[in-house]
Amino acid sequence: MRASLLQIAVDDDESVDSRRRRVASLVREQAGADLVVLPELWTTGAFAYRVFADEAEPLEGPTHEAMAKAASDAGIWLHAGSIPERDADGTLYNTSLVFSPAGDLAAAYRKIHRFGFDKGEAVLMGAGRELVTARPAGTVLGLATCYDLRFPELFRGLVDAGAEGFVVPAGWPERRREHWTLLARARAVENQAFVLACGTAGTHAGVPQAGHSIVVDPWGDVVGEAGPGEEVLSVSVDIGKVEATREQFPALKDRVLGLAGPRR
């Protein structure tokens, strides 16, 4: 499977509408790839808390429309990163959208772990409650978003649901770049699965972004890594490596579930 991760520069001086048009045309340029991946909240920026409410859109809003069309024009599977979604009750969610090559919505995932502790996304957005997988190009991929990367139990749940890899759109800050790389590799090694993690570049809301989108194979080897700026990271993903790794080094079979708690 040929995958292209579009590490979009999100800067405050570009409007949401103009970035949406620019990204749609970048997606169209990826015709020939099997899967294209965009970052988290690339319309606004993941840390642009002040504009979330103004820029929030219904699931089938302008970003859905533009990305569905771009996916079908290019004939590719598109993980369109995430949008600030406003549901019918007015609650905001950080929601990832996956489109088929026909431009149909194949999966939507509401981010489960919201970032910010007692402020930012954690108070402005609702939490997703459901694990979601998508089946692009004959693979089973689990969906997670940015801060979710710190919660291994979510990824294990996705493996139990059949995931052979994980797609992780992010808006990860430069300040914690080493955690990003370390966690992406850890999730790949412990789950013997591919990790396709696509971040943003640029600086928005005063937060410089890490870039360094990364694809890691089930052995933990880095298949490809972007630099700090806007970039298209194109890699070949040999999904057969998942079964081979799980057969040759069957650590997942040694899981011990339901352990008793410590004696007091």
Ligand X SMILES: NC(=O)CCC(=O)C(=O)O
As given in the structure block, the two tokens for residue 33 are 């790839």
Among 33, 146, 159, 242, binds ligand X (CB under 6 A): 146
> Which listed range, 20-28, 30-38, 79-87, 167-175, lies at the site for ligand X (CB under 6 A)?
167-175
Judged by CB under 6 A, the number of residues near ligand X is: 11
Minimal distance in Å, beta carbon 255 to ligand X?
26
Window of 28-36, 71-79, 145-153, 217-225 that interacts with ligand X by CB under 6 A:
145-153
Choose between 46 and 226: whose C-beta lies nearer to ligand X: 46
Rounded CA-CA distance 218/4 in Å is 18
Task: Based on the residue annotation, tell me whether 111 is a catalytic residue of this protein.
Answer: yes
Stretch that binds ligand X, among 4-12, 128-136, 171-179, 253-261 (CB under 6 A): 171-179
List the interface residues with ligand X, window 75-94 (CB under 6 A). Answer: none
Active site residue 146: yes
Q: Give CA–CA dist 214/170, Å, rounded.
A: 11
Residue 154 sits in the site that holds ligand X (CB under 6 A)? no
Among candidate residues 85, 111, 121, 230, the one labeled active-site is 111
d(CA 27, CA 235): 15
How far apart CA 136 and CA 133 sit, in angstroms, is 10
Selected binder of ligand X within 24, 172, 211, 212 (CB under 6 A): 172
User: From CA 195, how far away is CA 112, in angstroms rounded?
Assistant: 18
In the three-class reduction of DSSP (H, G, I as helix; E, B as strand; rest coil), residue 19 is classed as: helix
Touching ligand X, residues 11-50 (CB under 6 A): 40, 46
Beta carbons of 33 and 3 less than 8 angstroms apart:
yes
Instruction: Classify 205 as helix, strand or coil.
Output: coil
Q: At its nearest, how many Å lie between ligand X and the CB of residue 253? A: 31
Q: Does 101 bind ligand X (CB under 6 A)?
A: no
Give ∠ CA 130-71-110 in degrees, rounded to 5.
15
Q: Does 119 bind ligand X (CB under 6 A)?
A: no
Burial (Cβ within 10 Å: 0-12, 13-18, ≥19) of residue 131: middle
Say which of 55, 85, 121, 146 is annotated catalytic.
146
Q: Note whether 166 and 158 are within 8 A (CB).
A: yes
Q: Check if the beta carbon of residue 159 is closer than 8 Å to that of residue 111.
A: no
| Of positions 171, 199, 202, 211, contacts ligand X by CB under 6 A | 171
What are 144's two structure tokens?
A: 């997670």
Q: Of the candidates 150, 227, 229, 251, which one interacts with ligand X according to CB under 6 A? A: 150
Which residues does the annotation mark as catalytic? 40, 111, 146
Which residues form the interface with ligand X (CB under 6 A)?
40, 46, 115, 146-147, 150, 171-173, 176, 179
